[in-house]
Amino acid sequence: MAPTTTRDAVEAPKIEVTLTLILGKDYFRQVEEFGAGTDSDLSRFLLETRLKAFDWIINQDPMQLEYNAPNLVQRFLLVLFYYQTTRHKPWKECNPAGISQASATTNFCYQPVHLTGEATSLIWGDQWLSPSHECQWAGVDCQSEKRTVAELRIHWNHLNGPLPWEVTRLPLLRTLWLNSNMLTGALPPRLFSKNAGYALDYLDLRWNQFSGTIPAEWVANLLEGNGVLAYLQLNQNALTGRIPSELGLLSLKSLILTSNTLTGSIPRDLFYQTSLEWLFLEGNDLTGTLPSEIGLLTNLSNVNLNFTQISGAVPSEIGVLSKLVDLILSNTKMQGTIAEELYKGLGSLEVLSVSNCNLSGTINTSLGLMTHLKRLHFANNHFHGTIPNEIEALTQLAEFLVNGNDLSGTVPISFCQTRYAGEVASKVVADCLPNTETGIPAIQCSSDCCTSCCDETGVCLSN
């Protein structure tokens, strides 16, 4: 059944044809979304919003666009996007005005955007569904000449309901940045199709409430359509299942899947993706080992596997990753020694964090070559021997944690002298409390040097 309208009986069917050429011939009659077939309420909602958006274009939009207007499809898709992301309640900011014919200046609004944990900026623009051109709506960024949507950035704005796959039918959309909202349900497999999504290179859906798996269909369709997706951020959701091995076929620069409930091993195919710069898998139930092929990722700058079940040795091949800045392997089941190649090859490293693992061996004297280190976390492992004097070369070190090991001796005096001068190490933690049985500290470190001292039971006291 075609959508009913009160607008000119000739123009409405033409507009419907224009839209269905992009969205499918039965678009206004049936719903084929993943998961909607078993959820009658969702199916009904999706179909109703399609008809509602069509009705707005035909009967409520002051622009009264004709079927061949260059921005007809784009305007419809954004109207649909608004209706589908207000399933349970309106957005926090920039909702439509009560009277759609109000002037653009009357509908002017702003959208707060939290770029970091603390910093806040504003996105200015007109309220959505206002009479102005859709490129003026808040969070919509268009190419200036063609007035075609290139970026959609709507953060911290209480978007709720399913993610409309239709948004990627905006042909020149490069950035879809919808983090920190309340979007729910499965990630739509049709977000990338064989006929759309080619231009999208930045997809940020972190800090929402998505569930289900990461669709393997995304990769197949991107490859067939020569897609250019480079940045994929899905962290802080409720995603399950395995990381699709197919992701290794893309040319991703950033893959951030932190804090979901993903399982299985890290697909070996990911490590043949030489364009990769950021690999964040922290806070998942991943198992298996870190393969030696990680040494192929020569552009890698940040790795975070914190709070996973990854086990096995720390691959010595990591030592060839000369661009690596952060290496965070804490709170895993990794074991064995840290190869000398890592100390010698990672001259650009700023963060080396391997606390709370099962690592052993000594702290290599080549540590002194890592002169850019700012955080060095070795706590709660099985390292033995002494703290090498070469640590004095780490003049940028701000945190040095070596408590909970089998180390002995003293924290090198030369290192402490630079600490006295306030030049480095605002946090130094070692096993410098008296042993509960012998009364002798495992590590000698003055209160002026160590900020906290611990004993063999794990009790720590601040100095």
Q: Which residues form the domain of 95?
A: 11-106
Residue 95's closest CA among 148, 63, 60, 139? 139
User: For residue 80, what pLDDT is reported?
Assistant: 98
User: Over the stretch 222-281, which tens digit does the pLDDT of each residue have?
Assistant: 887 777 899 999 999 999 999 999 999 999 999 999 999 999 999 999 999 999 999 999
Percent of the chain at pLDDT exceeding 70: 88
Measured between alpha carbons, how far is 15 from 134 in angstroms, rounded to an integer? 18
Asked whether residue 170 is domain-assigned, the answer is: no
User: For residue 1, what pLDDT is reported?
Assistant: 45
- State the pLDDT confidence band at 190, using cuts at 50, 70 and 90: confident
Please state the separation of Cα 100 from the chain's center in Å: 36
Asked whether residue 454 is domain-assigned, the answer is: no
Convert 263-315 into a string of H (helix), E (strand) and C (coil): EEECCHHHHHCCCCCEEECCCCEEECECCHHHHHCCCCCEEECCCCCCEECCC
Asked whether residue 63 is domain-assigned, the answer is: yes
What contacts 24+ positions apart, CB below 8 Å, involve 58-63?
A: 58/3, 58/5, 58/6, 58/7, 58/11, 58/12, 58/15, 59/5, 59/6, 59/7, 60/100, 61/100, 61/131, 62/100, 62/101, 62/131, 63/131
Secondary structure of residue 324 in the 3-state scheme: coil
The answer to whether the pTM exceeds 0.85 is: yes
- State the pLDDT confidence band at 103, using cuts at 50, 70 and 90: very low
Asked whether residue 244 is domain-assigned, the answer is: no
Neighbouring C-alpha atoms within 13 Å toward the C-beta of 297: 28
For the ranges 181-185, 189-193, 392-396, the one whose mean pLDDT is highest:
181-185
Q: Where are the alpha helices (DSSP H) in 85-136?
A: none
Please state the separation of Cα 266 from the chain's center in Å: 17
- State the pLDDT confidence band at 377, using cuts at 50, 70 and 90: very high
Domain count, the chain: 1
Percent of the chain at pLDDT exceeding 90: 72
User: For residue 421, what pLDDT is reported?
Assistant: 55
Asked whether residue 21 is domain-assigned, the answer is: yes
User: Over the stretch 131-187, which tens digit does the pLDDT of each residue have?
Assistant: 999 999 999 999 877 899 999 999 888 999 999 999 999 989 999 999 999 999 999
More confident residue, 98 or 373: 373
Convert 140-161 into a string of H (helix), E (strand) and C (coil): EEEECCCCEEEEEECCCCCCEE
Asked whether residue 157 is domain-assigned, the answer is: no
Asked whether residue 76 is domain-assigned, the answer is: yes
Percent of the chain as helix, strand, coil, to the nearest 5: 25, 25, 50
Asked whether residue 15 is domain-assigned, the answer is: yes
- State the pLDDT confidence band at 425, using cuts at 50, 70 and 90: low
Measured between alpha carbons, how far is 276 from 49 in angstroms, rounded to an integer? 38
Are 174 and 197 in contact by the 8 Å Cβ rule? The answer is: no
